[in-house]
Structure 1
Amino acid sequence: MTEPTLRIVTDRGLVQDDPSAFQLLVLLQEIRRGSENFLVAHRLSRPEHYFQTVRADAVRGRAQDCYGTRAASGYLIEYRDGSPDRHYQAECATHTEVHDAVTGWAEGRDGWHEPYAWTRLDLGAR
């Protein structure tokens, strides 16, 4: 048995190792439906490298305080590429955009992040 390289964890505790693009889509549909609020994808060999998404409305109006955005709808996506100063956030309007981003990140595709307007997060200032 091969050791997993990627692990997805949802807010309700579902764990999925090395998900396919289809399995990621199913998880994102659960977020869209409201039965899940967020998911986090971890690179198991590199703990400071992860991708996460949350429905903007799942934070019940506290998006500005919790996530540093004014988004009231759609999704927030974040990725961290090592150290805290390499933590970024963007907004996506649809779960399809989120799916494109998370699968691109998970597969390590070149340019996966280019369609999005990323802002560096300064989590130390919160």
Structure 2
Amino acid sequence: MLEITVRTENDETHPRPGVEALAGLVRRIGAKRDRFLVVERRPDEPDVYVQVWHEEGENYTLEYRDGGPDKHFQVLLDDPEPVITAMTAWARREPGWGEGHAWEALELP
């Protein structure tokens, strides 16, 4: 079990899912009212999370925030598997979890 809570667009909450449960949630998103997941660590750390958005037929937008708005980044991925790998490593607090991706700063209005 991962020390995270996953929230879905359709108001589901999944506390402490296992790796396969998280993977299943990532693979299923894409349909209307089921396009994103927000993952927070347990215990919650303010403004620290990872999230993914996906519409069927489009890329996956993976984002993470590590504090204030100046520490919010995103990357586009074309497959759920690297999303699952990154989210799982983030949840496990593995050093270098996001390496290998072309993260871009996300400018919020």
Q: In which range does the TM-score fall when normalised by the shorter chain?
A: 0.7 to 0.9
Q: Quick one: percent identity of the two aligned structures?
A: 32
> Tell me, which stretches of 5 or more residues in structure 1 are unaligned?
59-71
Contact 1:5–1:45 (CA<8 Å) still a contact in 2? no
Displacement over 4 Å in runs of 4+ = none
1:16-27 aligned at under 5 Å gives the runs 16-27=14-25
Please, what is the CA RMSD of the aligned residues?
1.9
Flag the structure with larger Rg. 1
Aligned length: 106
1:1-126 aligned at under 5 Å gives the runs 5-32=3-30, 34=31, 36-43=34-41, 44-55=43-54, 57=55, 73-123=58-108, 126=109
The structure with the greater share of residues assigned to strand is 2
> Tell me, which stretches of 5 or more residues in structure 2 are unaligned?
none
The structure with the greater share of residues assigned to helix is 1
Contact 1:41–1:51 (CA<8 Å) still a contact in 2? yes
Q: Which has the higher contact order (CA 8 A, sep 6+)?
A: 2
Q: What TM-score, normalized by structure 1, do the two folds share?
A: 0.76
Q: CA deviation at 1:45?
A: 2.7
